[in-house]
Structure 1
């Protein structure tokens, strides 16, 4: 980015190609400096060896959110408010606004492919963060009171592309859909499981969704982890009450 700015500025200031040449090297130095800073900032999103900037991640996350919002052919204010609030909480108001501006000016005008987005972010995010992205998308659908069938189908497709296994998908889905056995689905066990199996499943899920897994992430991600952890606790308590254990 700054290479181009440097070329133009050098050409105008020094009135010639020699100036443009100087500008190119100054711009390149700035790009390298900022590039180093960006790579350091992205460490909380997964593999530190990958070169993906926080801006890339935010724009791709916002793109996935837009796909879910538009899935049922209608855009509700509740869904838009939830997404904005989430981004402000995660990245701060100024950075969230910048992300929305870039999305509206550039990304929104292009065809957004969930498959391409998932192919890009999947290897750059830890599995725990991908689970939180899935939870975030379900929350968008729930924002207006109900996750529609169209939204569920889109979220399911995104989950597959993020390589979320079916048990984890059903567990998080059960946190948003009421059913006779949703407590068991949250713990990823059958209703016929023994009491010992229930206790073992609870310990496993509590460990998987423990907020400490995302303590390196921003506040919004930690809040999402706490919500999942609370749902696991509530599911276990419900089964305990039903079985008298």
Structure 2
């Protein structure tokens, strides 16, 4: 495969960062070759796109983690620890340590193109998976106690590259940045809506964020889906108590 050859060459030129960049470039070339063999038809079909392999996804995930951690101009130890603990609980000690060694090299080097990484993921992952990915990245930003304006700006940029809708972005953000209308923001409705509209919104959001809809081999994203689904349930319960909805 071209992508692995490019990654190998990139490693010797610029270390792990070069390997990742080479991998991305090689993947694009592989994709172009696949298109030619299929008579110009796209390799990845809408809504049923080919999934990213676990190894591919981890490389992209590590890069996005480093981008978020460096968003406010400093590397927070709490954010680093958050990533480490998340990977330990998800992958186990041996694999997590190997992944994190790569992560340490990535974060110390120059920033990789966020747009390129996200474009790669958009082609190969379902929308529901990208929602959970954004949720995970918000968790990193909040690990040091607050999500800074710089981090929100970077996460908004990433959401745009990942083609996450504005309402979905604000819904996820409301799970990490508290406000008076948080529960309503999470359900993507206004406080003025009727009780029936609240119930309808809850059913819609529960269906959208149900873990069963997140088709991925990555355990970190599956875990994020469960956490997000719980937040939707909590938001509905909060509104239920506030309005006395049975």
Q: What TM-score bracket applies, with the shorter chain setting the length?
A: 0.7 to 0.9
Structure label with greater radius of gyration: 1
Is the aligned partner of 1:86 residue 2:86?
A: yes
Inter-partner Cα distance in structure 2 for 1:111 and 1:73: 12
> What are the ranges of 5 or more consecutive residues in structure 1 without an aligned counterpart?
6-45
1:101 deviates by 2.9
Partner residue in 1 for 2:40 = none
Partner residue in 2 for 1:206 = 206
Partner residue in 1 for 2:176 = 176
Is the aligned partner of 1:239 residue 2:221?
A: no
Inter-partner Cα distance in structure 1 for 2:55 and 2:197: 43
Matches within 5 A, 1:120-199: 120-199=120-199
Deviations 1:182-231 (A, max 9, x none): 11110011111111100000011111111222375444323211211111
Deviations 1:78-100 (A, max 9, x none): 10011112222333333332233
1:107 deviates by 7.7
1:60 deviates by 1.4
Secondary structure of the 1:99 match is helix
Deviations 1:43-83 (A, max 9, x none): xxx96646x54323212111111111111122222100111
Contact 1:55 1:99 in 2 (8 A): no
1:241 deviates by 1.3
Give the TM-score of the pair, scaled to structure 2. Answer: 0.74
Stretch of structure 1 that moved more, 104-113 or 162-171: 104-113
Summarize the Cα distance change of 1:53–1:211 in structure 2 as closer, same or farther, 3 Å threshold: closer
Secondary structure of the 1:172 match is helix
Summarize the Cα distance change of 1:47–1:215 in structure 2 as closer, same or farther, 3 Å threshold: closer
Partner residue in 2 for 1:32 = none
Matches within 5 A, 1:94-133: 94-105=94-105, 108-133=108-133
Summarize the Cα distance change of 1:202–1:229 in structure 2 as closer, same or farther, 3 Å threshold: same
1:108 deviates by 4.7
Secondary structure of the 1:146 match is coil
Secondary structure of the 2:145 match is coil
1:136 deviates by 0.6
Partner residue in 2 for 1:27 = none
RMSD: 2.3
Partner residue in 2 for 1:71 = 71
Summarize the Cα distance change of 1:93–1:241 in structure 2 as closer, same or farther, 3 Å threshold: same
> How many residues are matched?
202
Contact 1:90 1:221 in 2 (8 A): no
Summarize the Cα distance change of 1:224–1:87 in structure 2 as closer, same or farther, 3 Å threshold: same
